[in-house]
Amino acid sequence: MVTSRVLALSIGLMLLVVGTAAGAITMAPPPKIEQLAGAWIGPNDQTAYFRMEIDKAGHGLLVIQEDSPDGKFSFYRISKTTLSQYKISFALVPLNRADPTVALSGEASPGELLLVRSGINNGYNWHQNVSLQREDFLLQRILAVQKASAQFHAKAER
């Protein structure tokens, strides 16, 4: 009798804890285009590097340092940004002979853009994952790591 009461109480307590924890995990509300305005920077899953500037209307510029041996740059004007909940896509206009088949879309949050760059090369459909973070946030983190490294080396030399 006591064992079944303890078991029932334990199960009830576990359900309460699990239910409370599950309820505490909520996603941030979907971003608005205005919230995404600013500079974004980051790599793809190979070796190209991206910098995107978006204004509050969703227009801007995308610069890509390609992963080619010469490290050439590709430029695209962002003529439109479409946002539906967390899904985002960009209408790109190639500049300076950039690849006209390139498309860019993915998921957006106020602090990160998880995108897929895709295109066609000699009939082959390709895609690359791209992770962009706000440039000001990323620069702060780089400076903090550099400072921590310098402080560590200074202490080690004593």
The total number of structural domains that make up the chain: 1
pLDDT digits (tens, 9 = 90+) for 46-97: 889 999 999 999 999 999 998 777 879 999 999 999 999 999 999 999 999 8
- Does the pLDDT value for residue 153 go beyond 70? yes
Residue 9 lies in a domain: no
- Amino acid making up residue 155: K
We report the CATH number of the domain holding residue 117 as 2.40.128
| Predicted pLDDT of residue 154 | 87
Residue 20 lies in a domain: no
Residue 4 lies in a domain: no
Residue 123 lies in a domain: yes
List the domain range (segments joined by +) for residue 123. Answer: 33-154
Residue 101 lies in a domain: yes
Q: Where residue 134 falls among pLDDT bands split at 50, 70, 90?
A: very high
